Structure 1
Amino acid sequence: MPKRFASIWFRHLLTDQKAIRQPELKGKAYVFAEPDHGRMFITALTNEARNYGITEGMTVADARVITPDLLVFDSVPGRNLKLLTGLAEWCLRYTPAVQLDPPDGLLLDITGCTHLKGGEKAYLREIVSRLKAAGYDVRPAIADTIGAAWGMARCATSGLIVPEDAHRNALMPLPPYALRLPTDLLVKLRNLGLHQISSFIYMPDAVLRRRFGKNMVLRLHQALGQEAEYLFPLKEPVPYTESLACLEPVTTRTAIEIGLNDLLEKLCKRLYGEGLGLRSAMLTWYRIDGKNGNIKIGTNHPSNRVQHLFKLFFNKLDTVAPGMGIELFVLDALKTEPVSDKQSEIWSSKGGADSEEVAELLDRVAGRIGNANINRYLPGEHYWPERTLKPDIDIKKKAESEWRTDKPRPMQILDRPEPIEAMALTPDYPPKLFIWKGERHVIVGADGPERIEREWWLEPGEHRDYYIAEDEAGRRYWLFRSGHYNAENNQHWYLHGFFA
């Protein structure tokens, strides 16, 4: 399929946006100006101001001599880029590849997109009509190359949709400015009487390069399609994406759910056919008022199950604000991974953290409370209790070694051992009772001690003698005495964990 590009030129970007925000300015002469060496120079102006003979680069003082009632607004650096970025995001509903073309334009790769609107003419008509309805004065063009589309939009008076393979003839009558050449080179061409591209298009490249520089040849070749030129999209296209254009603007939760389910079915069908599953995805919606929003999901295991992925999005659909109506939904697969062969696992009854059921449960929980609130631990190669568990966020990661202790360990270990008051016979007997948080616990059975030496190469300190102690209520605790017994100080007992 041959490449097709569109260039959209916003002839009065800043002044149009000002009139959109302040409708009372419509039809009036006003300009934007910025200071330079103590004087204010005009950077943007309306057609009404231009009709008085005012031009860009003129000082405000000279302009007010021509029209004393001229309205002047301060020019804010970077405002045009901010406006173009917003307009580029709006254009994403027509193509996924949109590039900013400062200071006042956009470039679109529309290859394979125009048939969705009934052809290039209808496609361009819809974009232009909606932008003009919003208040922007635009000139668009379509051609086989970026350079040709740019030149036609700014310099041609007719034939703004250039047929395939006709861009050379379309460029011939245009001025050199259509090739995006610098000002000093344009002045040089004008002084030589080369007022049209046809005046030098057939000159040998060596002659053009010697007299006008290599940039001249590059721009000419790019416009003619003899030199490759690429767009750098505002939004990086993803390999797997699905879009749904609504026949009528969508405002209800039910309609949003139907659209989401339809997109998931299409996307998962493609992924299933290639043996892939989603790890992260983003649903973006575009409203008729030009605003948009998105929600993202993530999974622990690659999944192409529509029902599971729909549940993950379902928990976040309350954040969708349809406003006056949503006209387009786009579902992007941000990250995909190969899906394991489940057929061989049907008879294995495999469970645990690697099972698909556990992974899907974690996905749903994470969708409600966030991934940061879910913790997973792997065994660490340490006897010291505080270091036996190592946090990890990857559910598929395996323990790095087979190291483990054969001693019983509690189901819950406190982050920090809590001091208790205990009464014990000496020297190696477990406590007969202990008091924790003001509650008295009488020990009816105990096992121990298990001495755990501190890892002196990591930190200094006393060893610990651990006991498994059961109180009258049948609750079992993991207690320890820090260091050797001291008859004068009985405040070195601690509670460290709980058994089931």
Structure 2
Amino acid sequence: MTDSLAIRKPELKDTCYVFTMSQKNRMMVTASSRQAEKQGIHVPMVLADAKALVPDILAFDEKIDFNQKLLFRIAKWAIRYSPNVAVELPDGIVLDSTGCAHLFGGEEKYLKNILSKLEQFGYYCLGGLSDSIGTSWAIARFGHKLPIIPSGQQYNALLNLPPVALRLTQPVIERLHKLGFDKIGKFIQMPASILRRRFGTEMLSRLGQALGTEEEAFTPIIFKAPYQERLVCLEPIKTRSAIEIGIEKLLELLCKRLSKEGQGIRLADLQCYRLDGKITEIQIGTNQSTHNIKHLTKLFGLKIDKIAPGLGIELLILTASKTEQVLIEQEKLWGGNFGLEDQNLAQLLDRLAGKVGHQAIKRYIPQAHYWPERSLRQAITLDEKTEIKWQKANPRPMEMLHNPAAIKVTAPIPDYPPLSFRYKEELHWVKKADGPERIEQEWWLSQGEHRDYYILEDDKGCRYWVFRSGHYNEDTSEWFLHGFFA
């Protein structure tokens, strides 16, 4: 039997408000707060009549699925108290509290902690905790004394509650009231055959669910991630060293699971749940899948400064959001393991990416194109390979402009390199030159003229890669700077 906690009807605390919708050219009240109900406002009521009773009442246009979205947001927040949380439409959430209450000092402190936090956020809620979802649901809505029902005491807790507390349909409830059954205790001891004949199988099913003798479906809205670990802090943590210890413990648990299944981390997210209800998150990524705890701890250590603990962190959740199979390469006995297969290279790139960002580190591989700016592309992974070979016949610059920059050139007769050129208002006198190298596009992509490339070295010893577009013409020839040599 599992422990269940039901929380009922979150409302803005101490606020008199209603939700309205237009019907027959009039604004009608479709939902109201407890404060509004205490002052005589009910559903349905014309908004003008409601304002006559309470002039300063707050009115909001009813939004589609507003209550449902609010419940889902609260249920997502409540994941810190239980890994399994479900929404109980239209006005509640249910938590599977089995094995959770002792982490907060017992059931009483557990329930008080949840309701007080919601109250701090401005919501007024009621809760009930028992061995079954049915009894917890009933106590949260109709219980007026004890919100926590001792184990095995569901029967006694239900005796003085109205039949509606069993979540029965309206026709069954009306039939019960006609027969004078205004409390569950008046019919709970009746034989099952009589209840089935008079009120159908629904009555027996709901009674069984409330008493815990019949199982009830429970579908959490947020499923536990395949690779996820949680660490509840006994006391809120704020220091860097405490966060590092928490991360290391989570990585030990997570990597142990991953290594058994031959999986490694490519992306990992750390969520930090703060006392004030806010969630801070950091993410790391690796070039190759790994479950190396020491390496992953270093990557998280580079980003701990981005965590704002506020008043303190009470829960840490580590999730491996992207995993891949770990491929163990056969290392050579002599000479070491060099190249892209070297794990030290992958780990070095991971640490650099943690400092400067993944976008600052790029690897390129060749493509089947003649045009220089299209002859290469960025590799998706560190170990991505291609059958196309790099062009080695002529040197290429280490840095190439994405869009060639127009320059002004002084050049003699055709096919001779420039004597000087001006780039960004700076004049460069050419001391050495090599070329031309003619490059044309593929015939099926031919658009525009061919290019004649030259390698130029200026009087300061800097080397450039420039080209003339098309054949030489004293009036119409255009020159461009395309790259810089080291």
Alignment TM class, shorter chain as reference: 0.7 to 0.9
Corresponding position of 1:323: 310
Q: Quick check: 40-49 or 402-411, which moved more?
A: 40-49
| Alpha-carbon shift at residue 380 of structure 1 (Å) | 0.6
Q: What is the aligned counterpart of 1:495 among 474, 481, 484?
A: 481
Q: What is the aligned counterpart of 1:138 among 126, 137, 156?
A: 126
Tell me, in whole angstroms, the C-alpha distance in 2 between the residues paired with 1:160 and 1:367. 49
Q: What is the aligned counterpart of 1:336 among 298, 323, 328?
A: 323
Aligned residues: percent identity? 41
| Alpha-carbon shift at residue 201 of structure 1 (Å) | 8.2
Corresponding position of 2:411: 423
Corresponding position of 2:29: 41
Tell me, in whole angstroms, the C-alpha distance in 2 between the residues paired with 1:432 and 1:119. 84
1:470-485 to structure 2, matched below 5 A, reads 470-471=457-458, 473-485=460-472
Corresponding position of 2:380: 393
For the residue of structure 1 that corresponds to 2:411, the secondary structure is: strand
Query: TM-score normalized by structure 1?
Result: 0.77
List alignment gaps of at least 5 residues for structure 2: none
Q: Aligned Cα RMSD in Å?
A: 4.1
Cα pair distance change 1:126/1:477, threshold 3 Å: closer
1:405-444 to structure 2, matched below 5 A, reads 405-410=391-396, 411-420=398-407, 421-426=409-414, 429-431=415-417, 433-437=419-423, 438-444=426-432
Corresponding position of 1:377: 364
Cα pair distance change 1:232/1:137, threshold 3 Å: closer
Cα pair distance change 1:439/1:269, threshold 3 Å: same
Corresponding position of 2:343: 356
1:41-190 to structure 2, matched below 5 A, reads 41=29, 43-46=31-34, 50=38, 57=44, 72-75=57-60, 77=62, 80-81=67-68, 83-117=70-104, 120=107, 123-124=110-111, 126-128=113-115, 136-144=124-132, 146-155=133-142, 175-190=162-177
Q: Quick check: 70-79 or 166-175, which moved more?
A: 166-175
Tell me, in whole angstroms, the C-alpha distance in 2 between the residues paired with 1:227 and 1:112. 19
| Alpha-carbon shift at residue 300 of structure 1 (Å) | 1.9
Cα pair distance change 1:315/1:221, threshold 3 Å: same
For the residue of structure 1 that corresponds to 2:280, the secondary structure is: strand
Cα pair distance change 1:375/1:203, threshold 3 Å: farther
Tell me, in whole angstroms, the C-alpha distance in 2 between the residues paired with 1:143 and 1:364. 49
For the residue of structure 2 that corresponds to 1:232, the secondary structure is: coil
Tell me, in whole angstroms, the C-alpha distance in 2 between the residues paired with 1:288 and 1:389. 50
Corresponding position of 1:232: 220
For the residue of structure 2 that corresponds to 1:258, the secondary structure is: helix
Tell me, in whole angstroms, the C-alpha distance in 2 between the residues paired with 1:433 and 1:354. 47
How many residues are matched? Answer: 473
Tell me, in whole angstroms, the C-alpha distance in 2 between the residues paired with 1:167 and 1:363. 56
Tell me, in whole angstroms, the C-alpha distance in 2 between the residues paired with 1:367 and 1:495. 34
Amino acid at match of 1:178: A
Provide, for residues 298-344 of structure 1, a one-character-per-residue CA deviation record: whole Å limited to 9, x for no partner.
Answer: 22222333343233333333332222222222222222223232673
Tell me, in whole angstroms, the C-alpha distance in 2 between the residues paired with 1:258 and 1:385. 50
For the residue of structure 1 that corresponds to 2:310, the secondary structure is: coil
Answering whether residue 3 of structure 2 is matched by residue 8 of structure 1, we say no
List alignment gaps of at least 5 residues for structure 1: 20-24
For the residue of structure 1 that corresponds to 2:13, the secondary structure is: helix
Contact persistence 1:31–1:71 (CA under 8 A):
no
| Alpha-carbon shift at residue 375 of structure 1 (Å) | 3.2
Tell me, in whole angstroms, the C-alpha distance in 1 between the residues paired with 2:116 and 2:266. 39
Query: TM-score normalized by structure 2?
Result: 0.79
Tell me, in whole angstroms, the C-alpha distance in 2 between the residues paired with 1:471 and 1:392. 34
